[in-house]
Amino acid sequence: MRILPAIDLKDGICVRLRQGEYDSVYQVARDAVQTARSFLKDGAQLIHMVDLDGAKDGVGKNRAVIQRVMAETGAAVELGGGIRSLEDLEQVFSLGVSRAVIGSAAVENPDLVCRAVELYGEKIAVGLDVRGGTVRTQGWREDSSADYLEFARKMEAFGVKTLIFTDIETDGMLTGPNLKALSQLQEAVSCGIVASGGISSLADLRALKELGIPEVIVGKAVYSGDVDLKAAIALGVE
């Protein structure tokens, strides 16, 4: 199981949100480059970065910071937020991003996913941002009414190999992951699943590993100290 520490950016600053609410934003680190170096020192192989401004407004405002992180640390980066066209994908891959996450656009423009998979294959992931069983868009503010399992099956049929499942109700709350929803997703598709939301302890990570989840994003728990990243990474490779 691979552990992906998270860096969320708003206005160039490392922040976290609670349940995706933008009015809950708070700073968690001084500098994205320093944070990434710390993650790499602890053994991270891939860093999950989110452009929160892009997720909300559709404009990638933090790409210069993301480019700095990769250029100055050599980090491999998975990027989400504001990727809504083939031009956006071309831009982020030209920066050196290892995997791009299509979120809102996968719901609103499924043809984009088909074309993206044709062009970039396994470098494309689709984000399932879920609340109450349906997929949310526009920085989690809008309810698409699409059932997350049906949507996941549709993405798999398009050739998507990686789905990033975020349980919005647990995100940033340190209340534990939604194991039931993740288990249902595993039964519905054969895609690789990246679990996100609610991770609060090594025990949570063990539970996800026992479930067979191949990748896990850890955000708030790393910054709060509830999860020691080095220990988490060691657990993942045991």
- Catalytic residue set: 8, 129
Is the CB of residue 44 less than 8 Å from the CB of residue 87? no
d(CA 200, CA 13): 23
Are the CB atoms for 93 and 79 separated by under 8 Å? no
Q: Strand 21-29 and strand 47-51: pairing?
A: unpaired
Other Cβ atoms within 10 Å of 111 Cβ, number? 9
Rounded CA-CA distance 96/213 in Å is: 26
Ramachandran region, residue 170 (left: φ > 0; alpha: ψ -120 to 50; beta: rest): alpha
Asked if residue 63 lies in contact with residue 91, where contact means CB atoms within 8 angstroms, the answer is yes
CB 179 within 8 A of CB 207: yes
